[in-house]
Structure 1
């Protein structure tokens, strides 16, 4: 997998259009288009780092395919890629969004407890 493929994968996994990625990292849409079509054009370290910060992909993976694909957020090395992605998204949220997520998680816990106690009856 070359850098073009890795950038395509980032777009795909995040349901992004080229224009959206360009806006997020402060480059032109035509630059993103060139990155996707011309494997010899290399993304700069600073842009790879911006993508890492915004989307959670390891800059070294973006640049040269060095694993791990996702930036390690937690000290827990056993987290799945999905868990790491969720943590990456949480890092980007403001306090009100975090409160909403926590309320949702607590509601799930309440439902699970209710289901467990009704099955014990």
Structure 2
């Protein structure tokens, strides 16, 4: 699997658009386009940032070495949806986080009222 395939897979598994992925790892969209066309390599620091944000092993990103998911990454056991939500939350300001927290509290109260709370 080529680097472009691995980057494409990361974007796909996390339900991202190319622009969203670029923003989340603080690179330009044109850089991601070059990666996807195999016109550029990925630096170790960028691979490490992807590992930290999405849980994919930097070694796997750089050269396809297994394991695909980082064992040391805090997000390694999370699903792609969970990693995406965490990535979005990490970019929010305190006002937005307060709104998300209020939604979660309301949602949990609703589930409890229906008898669907976690056991």
Shared fold (TM-score, shorter chain, > 0.5) = yes
Q: Distance in 2 between matches of 1:72 and 1:108?
A: 29
Deviation of the 1:83 alpha carbon = 6.5
Q: Do the aligned partners of 1:90 and 1:98 also contact (CA within 8 Å) in 2? A: yes
Point out where structure 1 has 5 or more consecutive residues left out of the alignment. Answer: none
Q: How does 1:1-121 map to 2 (within 5 A)?
A: 1-12=1-12, 13-17=14-18, 21=22, 25-27=26-28, 29=30, 31-38=31-38, 41-53=40-52, 55-58=53-56, 59-65=58-64, 66-69=66-69, 72-73=73-74, 79-82=77-80, 84-85=82-83, 86-116=85-115
Q: 1:68 to 1:98 in 2, by over 3 A?
A: farther
> Which has the larger Rg?
1
More helix by share: 1
The count of residues paired between Structure 1 and Structure 2 equals 111
Q: Report SS of the residue matched to 2:115.
A: helix
Q: Do the aligned partners of 1:25 and 1:50 also contact (CA within 8 Å) in 2? A: no
Given the two structures, how large is their TM-score scaled by the length of structure 2? Answer: 0.63
Deviation of the 1:35 alpha carbon = 2.0
- Over the aligned positions, Cα root-mean-square deviation in angstroms equals 3.6
Q: Report SS of the residue matched to 1:99.
A: helix
Deviation of the 1:92 alpha carbon = 3.1
Deviation of the 1:73 alpha carbon = 1.9
Q: 1:43 to 1:87 in 2, by over 3 A?
A: same
Q: Do the aligned partners of 2:11 and 2:21 also contact (CA within 8 Å) in 1? A: no
Point out where structure 2 has 5 or more consecutive residues left out of the alignment. Answer: none
Q: Do the aligned partners of 1:4 and 1:37 also contact (CA within 8 Å) in 2? A: yes
Q: 1:67 to 1:81 in 2, by over 3 A?
A: farther
Given the two structures, how large is their TM-score scaled by the length of structure 1? Answer: 0.62
